Structure 1
Amino acid sequence: MSWARTGLRWLLAVCYAAAGYFHIASPAAFLTIMPAWVPAPEAVVFWTGVAELLGAAALAQPLSQPLRKAGAIGLALYAICVFPANIHHFALDMARPDGGAGLGYHLPRMVAQPLIVWLALWTGGVTDWPLRRR
């Protein structure tokens, strides 16, 4: 099981690093899905990119378990915090005459969000649930 945890931890770190890069380098796409009630949307997109990069770097730590756990908790909290933007994007897209990206894109994304929270915590060594040996 440790090889799966390590491999998925590295995969998650790479995905978050890429997302962080794109939040900073190409913020326009992220700004379009930002709910109107979020203050300073440009700053929020920039700092979410920074948070993703820092979380990815912490998650990728092979020897510093406390730093890796802190990064995992941070990325899990981050995934929870951005969920309203995902719901907003879903609603905006589905209201478009052409249906936007459609249910085939948005429903798996909604279902994946809790899985990403768990995956960050599991790969970061914060939890063993539900895979702990009895």
Structure 2
Amino acid sequence: MPRSERSPLLLAGLLAAAGVTHFVAPRQYDATIPRALPGAPRTWTYASGAAELALAAGVALPRTRRVAGLATAAFFAGVFPANVKMAVDWRNRPAPLRAAALARLPLQVPLVLWARSVARSGEGRS
């Protein structure tokens, strides 16, 4: 399978794995929900997990790949505030955890670009 055909499936796999972890281990995600959001953090955790699962399905299917890829790029940009909150909250944690939290910030850029690339690969396909 050519790399261009694997890319959407790899992105779908990443989204699906992340979505599942929102339900299997929600506590770690609850802590990243910005306090400014209304409602319980667990609701946001479950909603974002469900969104990731839906995006995974959309990216995996050629028929919906273009729209799902664009929605995934928007999703990755939209969760950036949670990553900032995590980096701020973890500033006094041990160095490896602090480094992991900080590494998530620039990681959003290639994730957004990857999702946009997958969206482009879905253009013109049915």
TM-score band by shorter chain is: 0.7 to 0.9
User: Scaled by the length of structure 2, what TM-score is found?
Assistant: 0.85
The amino acid across from 2:77 in the alignment is I
Render the CA deviation track for 1:44-99: whole Å, top value 9, x for unaligned: 1111111100100010013x1xx1111111111111111000000001101x2535
Deviates more, 1:50-59 or 1:32-41: 32-41
- Taking the TM superposition and a 5 Å limit, the aligned residue runs for 1:42-81 are 42-62=42-62, 64=63, 67-81=64-78
Render the CA deviation track for 1:74-130: whole Å, top value 9, x for unaligned: 111111111000000001101x25356122x23432111011011011023269xxx
The amino acid across from 1:68 in the alignment is R
- Aligned partner of 1:98 in structure 2 is 94
CA distance in 2, matches of 1:120, 1:39: 28
For the 8 Å contact 2:19–2:52, the answer to whether it is kept is yes
Runs of 4+ residues deviating >3 angstroms: 97-100
Greater percentage in helix: 2
**2:82 paired with 1:82:** no
User: Scaled by the length of structure 1, what TM-score is found?
Assistant: 0.81
Task: Give the length in aligned residue pairs.
Answer: 122
Name structure 1 gaps, 5 residues minimum.
128-134
For the 8 Å contact 2:33–2:44, the answer to whether it is kept is no
Name structure 2 gaps, 5 residues minimum.
none
Task: Evaluate the alpha carbon distance shift between residue 98 and residue 29 of structure 1 in structure 2; reply closer, same or farther with a 3 A threshold.
Answer: same
Q: CA RMSD in A?
A: 2.2
Task: Evaluate the alpha carbon distance shift between residue 84 and residue 26 of structure 1 in structure 2; reply closer, same or farther with a 3 A threshold.
Answer: same
CA distance in 2, matches of 1:38, 1:12: 27
SS in 2 for 1:39: coil
Render the CA deviation track for 1:16-50: whole Å, top value 9, x for unaligned: 00111111232111001222112222211111111
